[in-house]
Structure 1
Amino acid sequence: MHEFTYIEQATVNEDFKNFIGFLNEISYLHLIPQLVRDPKSFLKTSKGEDYYGRDFMERILAMNKHTRDAYRNRVERALRYALPNLEKLEFKPDEMGIPHFEATFKQWRGKGVKHQEKHFSDGTLRFIGLFWALQDGTKPILLEEPELSLHSAIIQRLADVIYKLQKKKSGRRQVIVTTHSHEILNNQGISAEEVLLITTEGEEGSKIISSASLPEVKAYLKTGNTIGDFVISRTAPKNIHQLTLYD
């Protein structure tokens, strides 16, 4: 039994250099709202990675102002559809130099009321983080369950939003999404070739297959069904129907 893979061994991984480079270029996002609201209450990882948004605000502050304003304007325009009372979304440091998002909302008194990110809902923070990440960079990005905390009407449009934002870039960026959400996958624009199923294989771990390789998928999609209808039932735990019998 080998203790290390060929990729891990510098003396024999010459043939895998391009693949290693590809893996190193992948960014990952699973923004945790509480980390954005109160980053100082959480310690950094030993390697300094920021997968969960602890340094999200600082990274935005460090950006070129022109680029930052362009990203913020797009996020603001998109956020107005999700939050109809939103007037303006600003990004600015306070008197201590600490960066903040500040949203102005319409109210019955006439003068807009302002809230900073510590008062934003989880869904609003995830929305901002998701739209920001999709604009920032050209290398592959992995989004873990981007549907979390979002309204179902937004979730249903995520696939189209991802496609539209990447279409604006020079060269198509690869976006990899992990999800259990039928609402994301219930989209006529998602082909069977774009969806990989991960299923358990007993004690042998997991098995990954392309949904396009399943013999019945073409006939199923020709009837007008979506790939979401097809794959979600096939990833459900085998005995999940017995959950309601648990005592």
Structure 2
Amino acid sequence: MLITKLTLKNWRNFKKLEVPFRNRTYIIGANATGKSNLLDVFRFLRDICKPAGGGLQKAIDDRGGIKKLRCLQARTDIEVRIDVELSEEADEEPIWTYSLGFKPEGKGAQRILITREVVTHKGKNVISRPTALDRRDDARLTQTALEQINSNVKFREVADFFQEATYLHLVPQLLKHAEINGRTAEGDPFGQGLMQRIAKTSQKTREAKLRRIQTALSKAVPQFSELKFELDKVTGQPHLMASYQHWRNHGAWQREDQFSDGTLRLIGLLWMLQENTNLLLLEEPELSLNDAIVSHIPLMIDRILRQQKSTGRQVIITTHSEALLRNPLDTNAILLLETSPDGTTARLATDDEQMMMDAGLSPADVMLPKARPAEIDQLGLFT
């Protein structure tokens, strides 16, 4: 199952937005146009569905409250609304739709109340709120049906889908220096828990995944030889060990806290691509990586998607990378975010841009320059 369409109202940068998604979608745009905020919609829905410590109110609080979530351009209509369509394939009619609207009640404690929660399955209503019971007891409107196992029975498939969304923006320093801050952020967005994730995987599966990663690293990292998993004999902490060709016969071994940032990010990316989550959100996977490696990221993603086609895997990527966008990507899979006085907008390639890419130009030639700030040439005059 895939997210095939997203409609937003008053969500962060976006006063109004309607965009399609495919099996893999590349989101581009200048800094601060809202690429991360667009991915955060799916993290928000995941956080609502979390079985422990989730729910609408916490998801809002974790983002700084409704004032931080609501678009600054929202003046008279202050409702925040998210509509999602889910289909089996990118170009098919939706099987499920989920619509959620909420806003502050406007009095007293300023509770955040649901203004709309509608679920449909193959065009037929499954749930529609507020109900008469909700109106008699508005405390019920502080919780979504999505987060309640007694209420989402008829659309548990949707809740499970959102709950499995995985976001990755691996920060190597947090993984290398876990002792500085032992607390891992909820959902582990920065890859701090990568070692624990690897450790919890069954031995047979773990070894198979690490063998594939080892093969990739041997092509991408000079002098890399071998990758293995081990538990510290004293502390029991999980570690990755890598050996490199060396003047000594048996080479030299390094632990993950000695890996280069790029090597760690590549390992994290390759591991997450092998996970069986329905929706993978990748934030700028090109960071710390050589352009030659970055240029192969779309190929790796496409290959994984083909191998996991039966699971309906979907990957959504934000990027600034020219090397990544040099690939002959599906031109309908590139979303360009652009700023306007009324909030950020998003669009696919125009007919003219499609023609240029069909003629052989890459998205890096046609689409990426449109993400270039208008006055960027003046930056070099900074004093």
- Larger RCO: 1 or 2 (CA < 8 Å, sep 6+): 2
Whether contact under 8 Å (2:184, 2:192) holds in the other structure is no
Aligned mates of 1:74, 1:120 — CA distance in 2? 18
What's 1:38 paired with?
177
**Which runs of 5 or more residues in structure 1 are unaligned?**
none
Matched, 1:93 2:231: yes
Tell me: CA distance 1:223–1:4, structure 2 relative to 1, closer, same or farther (3 Å).
Answer: closer
What's 2:357 paired with?
221
- Greater share of residues in helix: 1
Query: What code does the residue aligned with 2:239 have?
Result: H
TM-score normalised to the size of structure 1?
0.90
Query: What code does the residue aligned with 2:366 have?
Result: F
Q: CA RMSD in A?
A: 2.1
Shift of 1:11: 6.9
Aligned mates of 1:64, 1:133 — CA distance in 2? 15
SS of the residue aligned with 2:183? Answer: coil
- Would you say how many aligned residue pairs link Structure 1 and Structure 2? 242
Deviations 1:65-121 (A, max 9, x none): 111111111101111001242221001111121111001111122221110011100
Tell me: CA distance 1:53–1:104, structure 2 relative to 1, closer, same or farther (3 Å).
Answer: same
Query: What code does the residue aligned with 1:51 have?
Result: P
TM-score normalised to the size of structure 2?
0.59
What's 2:321 paired with?
181
Matched, 1:142 2:281: yes
Aligned mates of 1:3, 1:222 — CA distance in 2? 41
Deviations 1:189-218 (A, max 9, x none): x0210100011113x22111112xx13113
What's 2:345 paired with?
207
The structure that has the greater radius of gyration is: 2
SS of the residue aligned with 1:147? Answer: coil
Query: What code does the residue aligned with 1:164 have?
Result: R
Shift of 1:57: 0.6
Deviations 1:153-199 (A, max 9, x none): 101111001111222223341110100111101112x0210100011
Deviations 1:47-72 (A, max 9, x none): x3210011111121111111111111
**Aligned residues with identical type, % of pairs:** 35
Shift of 1:241: 1.3
Deviations 1:10-37 (A, max 9, x none): 5731337679735443210001101111
Tell me: CA distance 1:176–1:4, structure 2 relative to 1, closer, same or farther (3 Å).
Answer: closer
Whether contact under 8 Å (2:166, 2:277) holds in the other structure is no
